[in-house]
Chains A and B, each alone.
Chain A
């Protein structure tokens, strides 16, 4: 993307000040200009150093690593350049196309769709409630949001635990399953259904609160006019609410997509998710297992690069959306 902002630098139009006779004033002016030029960069420098050193540089390293066989020898690492072997293995294997990629994509799609839908419904609900109930519901939503991924995951495992988990017991007493023999976690359908519940529970509050903030900016007159024209609630939602706060929907959808593609903890902690059941691999878990369980850092890095490329594509969409919102200059 092109850098469109030019200010203060050499590209700025030179203002024609009347020539000054004494050199001291000229020096002061120059010093002032130098300060103007460097000040933002001095302020940015610490952050940029940290981001470059801990996010950007490792990203380059992971790219390099994906082209190597990396071995730990004598306490240090030795990389042997192997070209695109890891990518070839990854892209020609059945595991990626039949298990890893479908798991990653369908899971992310389900989570994003359901999170945004539920979050929007809850925002509409909150917008209708009186102050007391709105506060009560907001606090309940905050509780779901505040639950860390690790502890949230343990609670959902416990609820669906074979035999003594509450959901297993209820399903058993309704005659739907035999709680003694049914294990929800061994097949990828139920496994990912539970993971989806977990991710939605943790993720919809952000959407609800952000959409609510958007809803409150919509002028009431629009709805009154819509009602006069005979539009029902459904029509008012699609013809007034959605177009008015479309940017909000775009942002929460794209952010949720980015987050849900890289879900790791929630999968890794579930029974079998730590690699013991390859059926339930997603891209993040697969990469981690290859690197740390199989000590094949190169293969893990190749999977990590693939995930990064997927997310990069999504991020480009995100940035273009932000820019297209137009009126706010970035």
Chain B
């Protein structure tokens, strides 16, 4: 057997094996979550790969007994506020750092990079005290403000890449045609950075939707829980009913997955433009 034959054999067997392994590793946890959520006997069953039956009773339970509708609504509201505010603020900032040369521009960019690494656990203590002193604990607005701050550094960084890729000539042409700056912004720049804005909004929304530490620490009454915190109450240290936990997990996860699949192209180019500039 020549080296060439061995390579083809390895390719013929190796590729499918790798693909199957990848699909199992990535999808099995997702499958297991959904299958447990739909399995009426989720409490008592062992390790069967297929659910013992299909029913929506765990989903009904989390809505009726657990008030999960309120949690999902809270998460959506906080996420929406975060998208809008973080989108507007980061676009302005990205234009400033990508389009204008000014003193301390590099310093500003370095500061943005540094705050991106600040650990949440370091912030949660002082912010908890601050929020308590301003009577903003247990408030969806207070939580949204925190999420806006958390998503800003990455959003500015990503959008900066997009603004930089808009050719300056396009803007200059608009100026020569007599467009004012705001006019240029609305009709030239905004449409061109729209894909970047979409990517940024998704990241901002996901940040808010998934975040646990702040929501868990700040939101004291159960009607203010976000969905990520809402699952926690179905989870008991020793006697967890896995059906409701997995049903609520599914409700939190599936919207994000649908999001990701719809926008995955823009997500890729967003990362490429922002994080890597490849």
Contact = CB atoms under 8 A, between A and B. Distances in A.
B13 interface: no
Interface residues of B, number: 98
A311 B119 contact: yes
B237 to A, nearest CB: 6
Interface stretch (B53-61, B87-95, B188-196): B87-95
Main SS at interface, chain A: helix
Given A3-B103, A51-B152, A142-B261, A77 B118 contact: no
B8 interface: no
User: Most chain-B CB neighbours within 10 Å: which of A4, A8, A213, A217?
Assistant: A213
Interface stretch (A42-50, A106-114, A235-243): A42-50
A275 to B, nearest CB: 12
Interface of B: 15, 18-19, 22-23, 25-27, 29-30, 32-33, 36, 45-47, 88-90, 92-93, 95-97, 99-130, 132-133, 145-146, 148-149, 152-153, 156, 206, 209-210, 212-213, 217, 228, 231-232, 235, 237, 240, 242, 245-246, 249-250, 252-253, 256-257, 259-261, 264, 267-268, 271-272, 275-278
A262 B120 contact: yes
B249 A59 contact: no
Given A143-B261, A151-B253, A262-B120, 9 more contacts: A4-B106, A138-B264, A144-B27, A150-B249, A151-B252, A210-B272, A213-B271, A213-B278, A304-B119
Contacts of B109: 330
Contact of B130 (A43, A61, A292): A61
A58 B127 contact: yes
Given A150-B210, A251-B275, A46 B92 contact: yes
Contacts of B125: 62, 65, 287, 291-292, 297, 300-301, 304
9 contacts: A39-B96, A40-B102, A137-B23, A142-B264, A151-B252, A155-B29, A166-B46, A262-B121, A265-B212
A144 to B, nearest CB: 4
Contacts of B213: 264-265, 268, 288
A116 to B, nearest CB: 14
Q: Give 4 closest A-B pairs by Cβ, nearest first.
A: A7-B101, A169-B47, A54-B149, A151-B249
A97 interface: no
Interface in A119-173: 121-122, 125, 128-129, 133, 136-152, 154-156, 158-159, 161, 164-166, 169-170, 173
Interface residues of A, number: 114
B153 A307 contact: no
Contacts of A81: none
Contact of A155 (B101, B212, B246): B246
A40 B96 contact: yes
Given A6-B103, A65-B126, A154-B235, A44 B92 contact: yes
A140 to B, nearest CB: 4
A131 B148 CA distance: 37
Nearest to B30: A143
Contacts of A262: 119-121
Contacts of A54: 123, 127, 145-146, 148-149
A112 to B, nearest CB: 14
B96 A41 contact: yes
